[in-house]
Amino acid sequence: MQVSLPTREDEVADAVADALRDGVRLAIVGGGSKAEIGAQVEARPLPMAGLSGVVDYDPAELVLTVRPGTPLAEIQSLVADTGQMLAFEPFDHGPIFGQAAGRATIGGVVAAAVSGSQRISALAARDHLLGFRAVSGRGEVFSAGAKVVKNVTGYDLPKLAAGSWGRLFAMTELTLKVLPHPREAATRVLFGLDDQQAIRAMSVAMGAQAEVAAAAHFPADTRNGESATILRVQGFGPSVAARCAMLGALLVQFGEVQDLSASEAAAMWESLRTLAPLGADRPIWRVNVAPSRACEAVAPLCDADARFLFDWAGGLIWIASEAEPSVIREAVSNAGGHATLIRAEEGMRARIPAFHPPAAGIAALEERIRRAFDPAGLFETGRF
Amino acid sequence: MSLSMPPSDQTTLSRRAEIVEALRAIVPGEGVIDDEECLRPYESDGLTAYRQPPLVVVLPETTQQVSRVLAWCHENRVKVVPRGAGTSLSGGALPLADGVLLGLGKFNRVLDIDYEDRLVVVQSGVTNLAITRAVEDRGFYYAPDPSSQIACSIGGNVAENSGGVHCLKYGLTTNNVLGCEIVMMDGEILRIGGRHLDPAGLDLLGVVVGSEGLLGVVTEVTVRILPRPQTARALLIGFPDVESAGQCVAETIAQGIIPAGMEMMDRPAIHAAEAFVKVGYPLDVEALLIVELDGSAAECDHLIGEVEMIARRNKAVSIRASRDEEERAAFWAGRKAAFPAVGRLAPDYYCMDGTIPRRRLPDVLERMGALSVKYGLAVANVFHAGDGNLHPLILYDANKPGELERAEEFGNDILRLCVEVGGVLTGEHGVGVEKRDLMPVMFSEIDLKQQQRVKCAFDPELLLNPGKVFPQLHRCAELGRMHVHKGELPFPHLPRF
């Protein structure tokens, strides 16, 4: 029997068993906000939208258990109501592809390991997934991790789940760590730095006791002529004020550290999620690299008609460029990082793998791990 | 001892001389130890209740040597037990009679310090504290601080995903590691992660950290370092009952305050510690809380006031705030000496490590009290209160017949209790051999088999550290079986391992 929209874990298991029996592959589908990442797939969809809702939320224990199809926005508003947050700042990819926000699900952002600007101070999706339940490619229901914040019992399979992109198993329940939302936040800005200076300034700020929560750089061509390097400081009022003052003194060599109004700041941080400053037409790449090598990673593209946004103090670069994929990937490899193709037209996505090709030994190990969860390759849809 | 390890392979035992010779060809000089006397220091780790001299010890100096040792053992089907500094509290480095003990003690070099990207690259035998020592003159430190940090190696920290009293705010090892070099059982050398954040594909680093030496031998580690907070201050708060102390912890977190450390001690632990170090702990309280706040001076001063108010609302009978570093250190001195202090109350103690949802603390302590009566053994509790990680210390005398067994059974009951209330078997010490046979209390057979299939992806012959973590060893071929429909698997062209 085929289940069109499973609403329970056992129905997900049935759907997997059916696919195994029928010899068809399964594409796990959340809200579809990232459907345009990777190649087009030909597989039977396994929608998770029916597995929605909060299973348990205990703010005092900092633990939240939810079903994967729950909209991200719903969870963010639930935890905000008790003064908490998902500290890894997951966000909706829809706007990057010209869609309205609101489709992203919690299962989707965790499976894609989506972490926002705050990742440099508050860690990533992988660090906040405490446990999960899932149906493996064998059709078996299993659980891993736990529902407490500190646990080292057994292998840390939640780390594999975050960033698995639906290639290992279908998660049916996720337990996440939540944290208090900072009482206050202030964003400070330095205008007019070139990329190299900005990376250096952000490094100085991150290496100081100012406890910078997020640091990003917008080059001049993404802002009508004047670059902006922004630093966010958050926490309790007196502490935020003291640390902002600290930043002003610390970065004086780079220029005057100025206030940014709350609305301007919110708009700039938001634009690092929508990537609006990069324009709507060119392919978009996401580059992870050590911040000190960020400029080296993008150097071969600087002459071309490319635009960059630097987040994570330079450790994350969003690139909009028509350059040859091999040129981009080679430059990023040489700088010790990796480049993911996020947005491109269909033909390019069919040709260019979304993920940076790993070394042969790593690729073989990843393959063996995928087969450990999914021996028949049921979840190998060809997307990656 | 009731512990059963995988049966020794008689062929391996009979080939000992040949194995020693083969290892000497790879690691010359004194790097291979086969003398009975010299093997003795390696016969146990921090869990001294279990002892077993290894077949032979090898102490390679280079990754290439590690690779060749593993490749030779792989080819010859010889088991290998990796060992860092040997401070595991769960028996993770307990040797096997028919296994080569691979010590990483000579991997003791700091390879690179990068202040710009705030990271340090070290060989895996470098001690946890040595990383901080290497960068403290520039105002940086490595955050995870297990109590054994002066001795434990970073490779061991990676294997055990070690924590420490500050992990509520700064995370465990897994949250502070960026990359590693790992040698697989067949000798293949892989680099996982790097100097950047987040991997391109699967988070292999995430599953290697905390794998207790079962997936590969880590030879190099890249860790994040942090600027040392401008200042730190501590509060020492006494409560008339455990419930109030627990409520104070819950309210502190509910107010949005994540302290750097939040430690609780119960009455027996307070008295033992005070008798030992005499730092002025109040003796007329049922629970003592140490709350440490760090950050900018403005932040500490502000939060000290907030936490004091919360404590008062929750019936605190004594509150002291540290005025200087000396006083802060004094507050901690008793907590840090809690284990040896409790050790003075009885010839032996057994340290447990479960985690529970914090709200269940009063209930769990009460039931632990009942178990203490049942087993006729005293127990003192220290508790990482912020994250629910309990360390009950069971007092016993190994020279009294049956007492060790009783202590272990008591400990097992405590861990079963932790799982029953929604917690876990181990919060930071690892499963090792100690909690291996309790794994089915927390995981179903399907869960455990799924974990073992991950093991098979790294080490299909199960040669690396067998007998740890999993109560039952399934052959990988057996785990790989699938129900087959009409004699055919779907997608027959896909490779299978």
What integer is the mean pLDDT of A84-107?
Answer: 96
Q: Which residue of B has its CA nearest to A160?
A: B203
Give the sign of the dihedral formed by CA A16, CA A22, CA A23, CA A24.
Answer: negative
pLDDT tens by residue, B423-467? 999 999 999 999 999 999 999 999 999 999 999 999 999 999 999
Binding-face residues of B in 16-75 toward A, CB within 8 A: none
pLDDT tens by residue, A280-334? 999 999 999 999 999 999 999 987 789 999 999 999 999 999 999 999 999 999 9
Element (H, E) at B416: helix B403-420
Distance of alpha carbon B455 from alpha carbon A368, whole angstroms: 10
Between the CA of residue A128 and those of A147, A149, B156, B194, B196, what are the distances in Å? 11, 9, 23, 21, 19
Which residue reads 């939060």 in tokens?
A: B303
Instruction: Write the DSSP string, A134-149.
Output: EEETTS-EEEEE-SSS
Percentage helix, strand, coil, to 5, in chain B? Answer: 40, 20, 40
Q: CATH says A9-180 is which class?
A: alpha beta
Cβ–Cβ < 8 Å for B456, B480: yes
Which DSSP letter does residue B42 get? G
Give the mean pLDDT of chain A.
Answer: 96
pLDDT tens by residue, A14-41? 999 999 999 999 999 999 999 999 999 9
Asked if pLDDT for residue B91 goes beyond 70, the answer is: yes
pLDDT at A175: 98
pTM: 0.96
| Domain spans, chain A | 9-180, 184-351
List domains and CATH numbers for chain B. 10-103 (3.30.43.10), 110-227 (3.30.465.10), 231-275+285-336 (3.30.70.2190), 346-431 (3.30.70.2740)
**Would you tell me how many other CB atoms lie within 10 Å of the CB of residue A304?**
11
Which residues make Cβ contacts (< 8 Å) with residue A300, sequence separation at least 6?
A: A323, A327, A328, A330, A331
Distance of alpha carbon B294 from alpha carbon B273, whole angstroms: 24
Choice between A224 and B27, residue whose per-residue pLDDT is larger: B27
pLDDT at A1: 47
Q: Looking at the complex, does the CB of residue B171 fall below 8 Å from at least one CB of chain A?
A: yes
Predicted-complex ipTM score: 0.97
Decide yes or no: CATH 3.40.462.40 for domain A184-351. yes
pLDDT tens by residue, B116-138? 999 999 999 999 999 999 999 99
Asked if pLDDT for residue B487 goes beyond 70, the answer is: no
Q: Which residue from B163, B296, B439 is facing A242, i.e. has the nearest CB?
A: B296
Q: Looking at the complex, does the CB of residue A44 fall below 8 Å from at least one CB of chain B?
A: no
Element (H, E) at B119: strand B119-123
Q: Which residue from B200, B296, B425 is facing A356, i.e. has the nearest CB?
A: B200
Element (H, E) at B57: strand B56-58
Q: Looking at the complex, does the CB of residue A88 fall below 8 Å from at least one CB of chain B?
A: no
b (16+ CB within 10 A) / e for A314-346:
bbbbbbbbebebeebbebbeebbbbbbbbbbee
Cβ–Cβ < 8 Å for A69, A33: no
Distance of alpha carbon A357 from alpha carbon A349, whole angstroms: 14
**Would you tell me how many other CB atoms lie within 10 Å of the CB of residue B69?**
25
Helices (H), chain A: 9-22, 72-81, 106-111, 119-122, 125-128, 157-161, 195-206, 237-250, 262-274, 294-298, 325-334, 346-351, 360-373
Binding-face residues of A in 247-286 toward B, CB within 8 A: none
Asked if pLDDT for residue B484 goes beyond 60, the answer is: no
Distance of alpha carbon B286 from alpha carbon B288, whole angstroms: 7
Which DSSP letter does residue A59 get? G
Give the sign of the dihedral formed by CA B445, CA B160, CA A312, CA A309.
Answer: negative
Q: Looking at the complex, does the CB of residue B420 fall below 8 Å from at least one CB of chain A?
A: no
Distance of alpha carbon B351 from alpha carbon A362, whole angstroms: 38
Note whether A337 contacts B194, CB cutoff 8 Å. Answer: yes
pLDDT at B347: 92
